[in-house]
Chain A
Amino acid sequence: KAGVTQTPRYLIKTRGQQVTLSCSPISGHRSVSWYQQTPGQGLQFLFEYFSETQRNKGNFPGRFSGRQFSNSRSEMNVSTLELGDSALYLCASRPEGLFDSPLHFGNGTRLTVT
C-alpha cells in the first residue's frame, strides 16, 4: 500500500505570496490532518478533514485554510505568507478518525519564506 504522499517536497516563496500544498492519503483513509512543525513550537495542529468536512481546527489565523476532495485528497493553502510561516508542513491520514486510530504521516513539505 502506498503511504501518504505530499507534494511538493520543497518550496521557496516570498513574503506576501500564497502557496498551496497537496496531500494524497493512504488508500481507504478518509481522515486527513495537517500539522506545522517548527524547531521552536514543535508539531502544531492546523486542521483535520473527514469526508470533505473540516472536523477540527487548531489555533492558526484565517490565512491558513484547507479543503478535502471526494477522493480524500487534501490541499492546504496559506495566503499572504509571512517569514514565520517557514516550517515543515506535515500531512497525516487515518482510516476513520476514531480515538484509537493512529496517524500515518507523509514526508512533509518544507516551506521557506524569504
Chain B
Amino acid sequence: QKEVEQNSGPLSVPEGAIASLNCTYSDRGSQSFFWYRQYSGKSPELIMFIYSNGDKEDGRFTAQLNKASQYVSLLIRDSQPSDSATYLCAAVNAGNMLTFGGGTRLMVKP
C-alpha cells in the first residue's frame, strides 16, 4: 500500500462546477499536507497546505483535513479550463519526509 493514495482519474467536470479531489494517507504520524498542481511538461507548483483538522480556504480553493479518517481533500470552486492539470497530494510523515500520491488528472470542459 502506498503511503499517499489518490484516484488517478481523469476527473471530468464542466466549467463553473466544483471539482472535488481526494487523498488518503496511511501514516498516522503525518503532520502536514500539501496540494500541488502540475501542468503537462511542467514542474509541480504549490496550491496550498494544511496541518490542522478542518477547512482552509484560499480564493477558489478549499483544503479539508480529517486526521481521524486520514483523509485530505481539495475543492476547486468555479472550475475553469485553465484548472485542467494533475493535482498532487503530499504528506509530511513523522520523519519529516514529504511523500507524494500518484496524482489525479482533472479535466474541466468548457
Decide: B44 and A43 in contact? CB cutoff 8 A.
yes
0 or 1 for each of A57-73: is its CB under 8 Å from B? (1 = yes)? 01000000000000000
Decide: B34 and A102 in contact? CB cutoff 8 A.
yes
The dominant DSSP class at the A interface is: strand
Which chain B residues numbered 81 to 108 have a C-beta less than 8 Å away from chain A?
A: 88, 90, 92, 95-103
Which chain A residues numbered 60 to 101 have a C-beta less than 8 Å away from chain B?
A: 90, 97-100
Q: Is A107 an interface residue (CB 8 A)?
A: yes
Q: Is B80 an interface residue (CB 8 A)?
A: no
Please, could you name 9 A-B residue pairs with CB atoms under 8 Å apart, sorted by A? Answer: A33-B98, A42-B100, A100-B49, A102-B34, A102-B49, A103-B98, A105-B43, A106-B43, A108-B43
Binding site for A on B (CB under 8 A): 31-32, 34, 36, 42-46, 49, 51, 88, 90, 92, 95-103
